[in-house]
Amino acid sequence: MGPSSAYATDHGNTGEDAPVKTEEGDTEMAGVNSSNFVRQHVPGQFPQNLLILALENGMLLFLYVQKGPAGNWEFVSSQHPMPRNRLVHPGFHMTIDPSSSYLTLACVEDYFITFELESMENLRLQCMRGHRLKPVRSSRARGMSGIIHKIEYLHPSPENDYHVILLLIVVKDQTSRLVLYEWEQGDNLRRVFAGEREGHKLADEYRLPLLVIPLTVRNAFLIVTENVTATCTGILQGSPSFEPFELEDKLPSTEYHDGTVKPLWTSWSRPYREYQYHTDHDVLYLAREDGLLNLLDISEDPGVEVAYNMGSLECTIDSAFTCMYDTVGDVLIAGGNCCPGTICSVEPRRQLERVGTIPNWSPAIDIAIACESTKETEELARDTRNTSLLDRRRSVFRRSDRVFVSSGRGKLGGVTELRHGIQAKIGQVAEMEEGFLLLLSLPDRSAIIHFSEDFEDIIEREHDTVPYDLSSRTLAAQGTDDAIIQVTTSFIIVVTSSETSRKSAQEITGDSTATITHASIQGNLIALAVHSQSGFIVRVLMTDGAMLSTKATYEVEGEVTCLALGRLAGEIAVFLGTLQAQAVTLATRILNELGAPTIAPESIEFGAGESIPKRVFASAATDLKRVDTLNAGMDRRSSVNGPESVEALTSIISVNEGPQQTTLAVGTRSGHVFTIRMQAGGYETYSHKFGASPAQVFPISGPGEPSLIMVCNNFHLAMMTNFSADDQPARFRSLHRVFPTDPNDPIAPSINSVARIQWQIPEEVGTLNLAMIAGNRILFTQLQRQPQPVPRHIPVGGTPTKVLYSSRLEALVTVVSRSGIPSLHFLELETGSDLSRPVKETKDENGERKFVDTDYIDCLGAPGTRIISLSDWRYQHGGRTWEWIVIAGKVRDDEGLLLVVSAEPERYHTAEGPSRRVRFWSRLKRIVEAPVWSVTTDEHGVFICFGLNIHYLQVNPADKKLRLVKEFELLSPAAWMQVVDGRLHVATTKHSLMILDYKGESTLGENQMVLLHSDPVARTGIHSIEVGSFLDKERLRSITMLSDNSCGVHGLWSTSSDDEPLKLVFQAQLEASVRRFTRGHTRPPWELATHTPRFGCIQSARDTPDILGISLDGSLRHFTLLKKEAWLFLRFIQNLAMASSTICPHTYPSVAHGDFDPEPQLSPKHRMHVDGDILQRCLDQRMLENLMSNPEHATRFRVFLRALVENQDMPAPQSSDDNAEYFKLAYSVLEYYLAPVL
């Protein structure tokens, strides 16, 4: 709501603008009649537009943004309740009149409500007076005799801008009518809607329009159906008149259409134009579902003058389509339906230009976890019986598993890797006003590279053209306003505007064998680690102009592995890492005013083979002797898996320097990164494990900015943010993986080094400019500051229906449908390249087996074949094991297919070098008399559900064909099957979960399976996963999670006793149904090594994987099983948060009524569900203190927390009157449960 001119005003446009549309299910942001083109002058900081949302809980939400005290943008909101007694699915239809004076919502049936809104001037006055915004003046509801198909406000005539016209299309008894309500602004809505209008009957060709588009001329509107497009006029004068016209859609469909019928027009948008243009003209963009775009130019007389084909947006389009204002043209944004969206620029007399992509991985049909599988981890994952058998001896650091989903439809379909972290966009930095020089440190030399302002010209400077040392490797460099300092392994160079000095390591030390190994520069001080035949020394130099002088020198025992300059207790200090007889030490040297080195109060030794740093006291600068060893308070989580040695330090940077203490970040060769706070009398450390390879730390924050640390190792790039000096120990609260992305290169680079380039290249708000080194490449990247999804799309050129990962083949396996024809494909994990080589198995003239290349393997490649199941089969027989792939689906309406496929990796050579591919062929097949619903396997056979039958098939050794062994008849088809502990779990479409015994004998016959457990409640099952087996009163009980198509998740408990019904343990109601569950070790590497069950967390398998679930809309959910003590504590916090206007501002009124009780309740079962998204808000805003302001709540909070941490690895707080320790521990619990799983 608000004037449409506001947007252009904010961007310096002096002309009046045309409004934007109101879209079904969406809200118009601007008005559109002539009164709207008269600016509403709203002084002050109050915005000229508000966003209106209709929430499903029956609330109208009015939003705008403003800058908060910290300078960041914040939402300001006000809400108004809607009557819900008849308004089912509020906001299904939503429209606002051109003057922003009236808002109308309609449900999916026969009821609508109109709200009279306050003017923007009155809302501004409310804001200035400090009142809560009350945007709604009054409202009036109206029932209709029929189903409301469309509802829109028409534009008034320029001479009568107070005229309000509401148009409805109502369908009753197969007849559609145009119903009109008219009134003047300010009229009593009760009288306006006193009676139901009869309306005008629509002709059959216009009966069910796809779109109704109000025009700014002639009180007219466009009506768009499947076959006809027309302008409707004269509706205020009597019977409406329809004037058909042709659109420029001569192409029957674009290549992005995925369907068998003609594509439909699905959305529209009105671009901004000058006011004078809209007095007698209108202009619209009309979009078709296959991406085709028309531009319509409409005049007051004779109507549609031009329908111009603008080309394709190269994506599919639903309702998410709009046009944004730009100073040089239009910007079109299409959200993408079943594919990534598009951002296009339209400039005058130019073609569409694609300028951006909007990620979209919906619909997500299937999910696969790619892992580095070993025999030990596979055995651990299969054994879920005993939680006490957790194997804590993970001697080998494993890489994180990766999550892939089959997503999208049609040409733009693909397999998407789901990632979450910080995106670094390669090549997306802004152009510069002038070029710059980049100094590169290479293994055996240095290089100066000149980059032009547009990055088009890249020139390496010759050695004799620059005053720097390019013959040796650069160790450190720094540029200031008056000098540039370079330190290489051979020289120290200082360059000023008037002179240059160059001194060799031999000149400085007087030793002909001296070589500089490490260096650090801070201001006019240079610290050097110099190695010679006599060992290592550290020398500190000072610059005065281009002159160098020695400030301090001292010897070091052992090898110097890194060093840095900084401050400790206000004094200049040198921090250096040393290695002597496998003893890793962080030593500190303080320089006094005279320059003489003195030992700091202590140094830190990381003992060989030990995971706890040691405190070391020394008596002299060159004589280090350990006299005492104390526990340094290292984070407990880093040592739960047993002793793990810390190798030599690789890098040191200063994070925070205060008058009394200094915090360092230290990288190590063993992959640890330590955050160490040093102060008088002691120090404290906090560690993270980033991998098995060396971890290097790089500072990327500028002066005055919060500390940001980049961590590089061979496999990962991560950023440490949100440093907190208040925590004990001091630490970075947030760690995020960093993903360099290049749309032109699917292979993720391995980064070796990172540097900030904020002064050379202008930085956009919310981003950092970084130069990254990846092997022999220089990458200029734009780093985002906030974590977000960073999906990686692997195109497959069709609709992927299923996906799995084969560890044996090291490839993703997917079924792709192109033009209704399915095919099997194998994709390389890193590059996304297709490794598939389909063959047909035959025999040559000698009877030997041979393979012939083919387009499709047997039974695939036929139109109309639909694949619904893809799984792997580890078949065992006679002491041998085969790994096959099982495909199943339907070939006709009355026939199903079961196909077993063999696949083998093979190597071959190309012009580029050796390569690999996967050869595969059909091995076994079986045709059944009904379409297949689901398939699963065990080590001896395959289970297939077709119709209402489950058949257990095994390979007959005699004829190598599948034969029936067992069968069972269901009450409804099996949507999913899984073998768990020798029993068959069946999730049926209408009768919930059933557990069958297929190995024992049945009284019904020797080939019949036996029903052991079933659910007494008929649930519409989609998928299930076994999440653990537990002893309850000496009886083994197994919990299975079942998802249904009503967005529910149910925890069903089966006992070891047969014939007992399943018991409902918990329920959860989600926003979308879970299509597939899976489990994997997907956490970031620093979490994988430390995240073990505690705080009442129940592991779902011996190797502690996480349970994930994917929904059709692409949302990924993480599930955790809780012990009762954990549920009580977390649910108590959630209950209080739901009653908080800060945490849940739009739902709290329905919770925080007079008799509100936050005590967790065991019934109904959906209260056993804890919403982690609500807890995340509590953690992000550090709201626990606020939530526990009530003394009674604080008391219960302490009781629940003490019960939770009893028998844990840390004691419960002892003080009953000081809540500080309780809150600190509670935040640790929240951080544990909310730690990211991607």
Per-residue pLDDT reduced to its tens digit, 879-918: 999 999 999 999 988 899 999 999 999 998 888 888 899 9
Helix (H, G, I), strand (E, B) or coil at 361: coil
Which residue intervals of 26-119 are DSSP H helices?
34-37
Residues 510 and 616 in one domain: no
Helix and strand element counts for the chain (H, E): 13, 83
In DSSP notation, 170-228 reads EEETTEEEEEEEEEETT--HHHHTSS----EEPPGGGSS-SEEEE-SSTT-EEEE-SS-
> CA dihedral in degrees (701, 702, 704, 709; nearest 10)?
10
Radius of gyration of the chain (CA): 35
668: Cβ contacts below 8 Å, ≥ 6 apart: 584, 606, 646, 647, 648, 649, 650, 674, 694, 695
**Is a pLDDT exceeding 90 seen at residue 35?**
no
Q: Whole-angstrom Cα distance, residue 973 to residue 666?
A: 58
Q: What is the DSSP string of 621-649?
A: TTB------------GGGGTT-------E
Nearest to 656 by CA among 679, 635, 672: 679
Q: Which of 724, 751, 778 is the last residue of a domain?
A: 751
Q: Which pLDDT tens digit goes with each residue over 1158-1205?
A: 999 988 888 899 999 999 999 999 999 999 999 999 999 999 999 998
Does a structural domain hold residue 828?
no
For 697-748, give the DSSP string: EEE---TTSPP-EEEE-SS-EEEEEEEESSSSS-EEEEEEEEEEEBTTB-SP
Task: Report the percent of the chain where pLDDT is more than 70.
Answer: 87
Determine the average pLDDT of the residues in 733-745.
Answer: 90
Q: Report yes or no on 651 lying in a domain.
A: yes
Same domain, 529 and 598: no
Q: Lowest-pLDDT range, 577-586, 629-638, 707-716, 899-908?
A: 629-638
| Structure confidence at residue 392 (pLDDT) | 35
Clarify whether residues 491 and 635 are in a common domain: no
Instruction: Categorize the per-residue pLDDT at 25 as very low, low, confident or very high, splitting at 50, 70 and 90.
Output: very low
Q: From 1077, 1078, 981, select the one nearest 1023 (Cα to Cα).
A: 1077
CA pair distance 1184, 1228, nearest whole angstrom:
12
Q: In this structure, are 500 and 612 located in the same domain?
A: no
Query: Comparing C-alpha atoms, which of 319, 195, 316, 303 is closest to residue 256?
Result: 316
For residues 1062 and 1053, the answer to whether their CB atoms sit within 8 Å is yes
Secondary structure (DSSP) of 430-468: PP-SS-EEEEEE-SS-EEEEEE-TTS--EEEPPGGGSSS
CA dist., res. 1109 & res. 1118, Å (int): 7
Residue 1122 has pLDDT above 50, yes or no: yes
Contact 825, 814 (CB under 8 A): yes
Of residues 520 and 680, the one with the higher pLDDT is 520
pLDDT at 39 over 60: no
- Tell me: the pLDDT tens digits for 928-980? 999 999 999 999 999 999 999 999 999 998 888 999 999 999 999 999 999 99
For residue 90, pLDDT beyond 80: no
Residues 229 and 334 in one domain: yes
Give me the pLDDT at residue 1146, please: 78
Residue 512 lies in a domain: yes
Q: Which residue has the higher pLDDT, 967 or 261?
A: 967
Q: Of 333, 358, 383, which residue sits at a domain end?
A: 358
Q: Which two tokens stand for residue 520?
A: 């650090």
Is residue 1096 one of the residues assigned to a domain?
no
Cis peptide preceding 1211, ω within 30 of 0: no
Name the domain count of the chain: 4
Is residue 1207 classed exposed, middle or buried when 0-12, 13-18 and 19+ CB atoms within 10 A define those classes?
Answer: exposed
The distance from CA 1217 to its chain's CA centroid, rounded to whole angstroms, is: 41
Helix (H) or strand (E) holding 400: none
Q: What pLDDT sits at residue 475?
A: 95
Whole-angstrom CA distances from 58 to 53, 958, 1146 are 10, 67, 10
Task: Indicate if 523 and 578 belong to the same structural domain.
Answer: no
Cβ distance 889 to 864 under 8 Å? no
Q: Which amino acid is at 428?
A: Q
Q: Is the same domain home to 627 and 567?
A: yes
Query: What integer pLDDT is reported at residue 565 of this predicted model?
Result: 94
Same domain, residue pair 718 and 572: yes
Amino acid, single-letter form, for residue 315 = C
Residue 1174: enclosing H or E segment and its boundaries?
Answer: helix 1172-1180
Other C-beta atoms closer than 10 Å to the C-beta of 546 total 18
Q: What number is the average pLDDT over the span 513-522? A: 94
Beta-carbon contacts of residue 1165 (< 8 Å; ≥ 6 apart): 1064, 1065, 1066, 1067
Mean pLDDT of 1026-1043: 75
Does the pLDDT of residue 845 top 90, yes or no? no
DSSP letter for 1008, please. B
Matching residue, tokens 């196909």: 899
Q: Domain check: are 233 and 292 in the same one?
A: yes
Task: Mark whether 496 and 640 lie in a shared domain.
Answer: no
Among 358, 389, 409, give the residue marking a domain's end: 358
Q: Residue 6 domain-assigned?
A: no
pLDDT at 95 over 70: yes
Q: Is residue 40 part of a domain?
A: no
Secondary structure class of 973 (helix, strand, coil): coil
| Residue 328 within any structural domain of the chain | yes
Work out the widest C-alpha separation in the chain, in whole angstroms: 106
Which pTM does this prediction carry? 0.88
pLDDT of residue 599: 46
Q: Looking at the structure, do residues 509 and 623 belong to the same domain, yes or no?
A: no
**Better-scored residue on pLDDT, 42 or 256:** 256
Q: Note the pLDDT of residue 46.
A: 80
Measured CA to CA, the distance from residue 1233 to residue 1227 in angstroms comes to 10
Of 126-135, 1067-1076, 1137-1146, give the range with the top mean pLDDT.
Answer: 1067-1076
Confidence class of residue 679 from pLDDT cuts 50, 70 and 90? confident
Q: Which of 732, 681, 738, 679 is nearest to 713 (CA)?
A: 738
Same domain (yes/no): 532, 599: no
Six token digits for residue 455:
């990055």
Q: What is the pLDDT of residues 684-721, one digit of tens each?
A: 899 998 888 899 999 998 878 889 999 998 778 999 99
In the predicted model, is pLDDT for residue 385 greater than 60?
Answer: no
Judged by average pLDDT, the poorest of 31-45, 298-312, 537-551, 1159-1173 is: 31-45
Can you tell me the mean pLDDT for 1198-1218?
A: 72
Helices (H), 483-546: 505-509
Determine the residue type at 933. W
**213-222, 312-321, 601-610, 997-1006: segment of lowest average pLDDT:** 601-610
Is 1132 inside a domain boundary? yes
Residue 423 predicted with pLDDT over 80: yes
> Domain residues for 640?
559-751
Q: Among 297-301, 357-361, 476-480, 853-857, where is mean pLDDT lowest?
A: 297-301
Nearest Cα neighbor of 783 from 758, 759, 760 is: 758
Residue 603 · residue 587 · CB < 8 Å: yes
